[in-house]
Amino acid sequence: MRQRRRPGGRLFLNMGRLLLEVAAQLMFPGVLSFDFLFHESVEKYEHESEIFLCLELPFDAAVGAKKVALAGDFNAWNTADTLLKKNYKKRVFSATLELEQGREYQFKYLIDDSRWENDWAADSYAPAPVGGTENSVVIV
């Protein structure tokens, strides 16, 4: 069956992106780029001396998960501090953090309080101090 294209569909998408960028600019004055709103994985954007970091875990990495927590150097590895939200449209769990620039942070995802998972798009990986595994590393 042949699909019909709606006239002006691409224009509608571009206008939607423009409206989203304008709204984001109003919420975060001084931020130069809002491309993080349109990409998956680890995304960074700057505001003064802080970095806003958007971390996303694809549903494929957490099949059937009801809850995903983010633990790392930035929250003293507290698994209750940062819970990721489900984004059904992008099919990811996501969280945005405000971090100090010029540092490396180790982190992992905790799925349903029972299984640890690394970020598939991490900047690098480092040996974990316990457990004989690796942690994800993001460089900001």
Domains identified in the chain and CATH numbers: 33-139 (2.60.40.10)
Identity of the residue numbered 133:
T
pLDDT tens per residue across span 85-137: 999 999 999 999 989 888 999 999 999 999 999 998 899 999 998 888 999 99
Instruction: Please write the tens of the pLDDT for every residue from 17-45.
Output: 455 555 656 665 555 444 444 433 455 55
Cα dihedral 124, 92, 36, 109 sign: negative
How far out from the chain centre does Cα 125 lie?
17
**Matching residue, tokens 């490396």:** 104
Strand locations in 59-127 (E): 68-72, 82-83, 85-87, 92-100, 104-111, 115-117, 124-127
Q: What is the DSSP letter of 14?
A: H
Q: What is the DSSP letter of 65?
A: -
